[in-house]
Chains A and B, each alone.
Chain A
Amino acid sequence: EVQLVQSGAEVKKPGESLKISCKGSGYTFTSHWIGWVRQMPGKGLEWMGIIYPGDSGTRYSPSFQGQVTISADKSISTAYLQWNILKAPDTAMYYCVRVYGSALIWFDYWGQGTLVTVSS
């Protein structure tokens, strides 16, 4: 059974850094891209970026390029989403997603979400 298990909720202050994680199991981790999707409170879904754990190649949405860093450690089947400087508008639920496909992609499995709250 494919599972994506994300790290727990975080409460941080503006200006702090953060790295959240997503551990994949039940499939070959290095054979599928993994992505991140943001959902701000009461709002819709926004694609942030993806990474291919096999070679750590990444692709970002222009809206998030330079704002976050996506990485992966294939030795432990885990992907990460990192902020160097958090801001209040980063408050959101963040979902990791397994990608189906390579050139044309959609998201066939979703993690349970990690709630990030940024508040002074």
Chain B
Amino acid sequence: EIVMTQSPATLSVSPGERATLSCRASQSVSSNLAWYQQKPGQAPRLLIYGSSTRATGVPARFSGSGSGTEFTLTISSLQSEDFTLYYCQQYNTWPLTFGGGTKVEI
């Protein structure tokens, strides 16, 4: 099973600043990585797939990059609604696995 490790567990930033979230895979997953956002009390929402392709309706301030074992989700200018939880997920190899999450807080 591929282990996905997200860092940091908690990221403290100010509104308007840039946030950089990391996701590392225990072995190569090529570009087969997705990012999800989960707000408190809500279901997760797809943000990014294919490492860098934004899902429908996702604002341009969200961008993803990386391949192999190292991936990054960047939020270019944090809005109040962006302070929440983010998960990465690899879909290169069965079983599908998620990272432990990064909480972005003020």
Contact = CB atoms under 8 A, between A and B. Distances in A.
Nearest to B6: A44
B95 A95 contact: no
B95 A107 contact: no
Interface in A89-120: 95, 100-101, 104-113
Contact of A105 (B43, B96, B98): B96
Contacts of B98: 44-47
A110 B43 contact: yes
B42 to A, nearest CB: 8
B91 A108 contact: no
A26 interface: no
A65 to B, nearest CB: 10
B94 A59 contact: yes
Interface of A is mostly: strand
B104 interface: no
A104 B91 CA distance: 6
Given A106-B49, A110-B44, A110-B45, A44 B99 contact: yes
A70 to B, nearest CB: 14
B46 interface: yes
B74 interface: no
Nearest to A110: B43
Question: What band does the interface of chain A fall in when counting residues whose beta carbon is under 8 Å from B?
Answer: 20 to 34
A37 to B, nearest CB: 8
B87 A44 contact: yes
Given A44-B98, A44-B101, A47-B95, A106 B34 contact: yes
Contact of B43 (A44, A62, A112): A112
A104 B29 CA distance: 11
Contacts of B99: 44
Contacts of A104: 32, 91-92
B98 to A, nearest CB: 4
Interface of A: 37, 44-47, 59, 61-63, 95, 100-101, 104-113
Interface pairs A-B: 5 shortest CB-CB: A110-B43, A106-B34, A61-B95, A47-B96, A45-B98
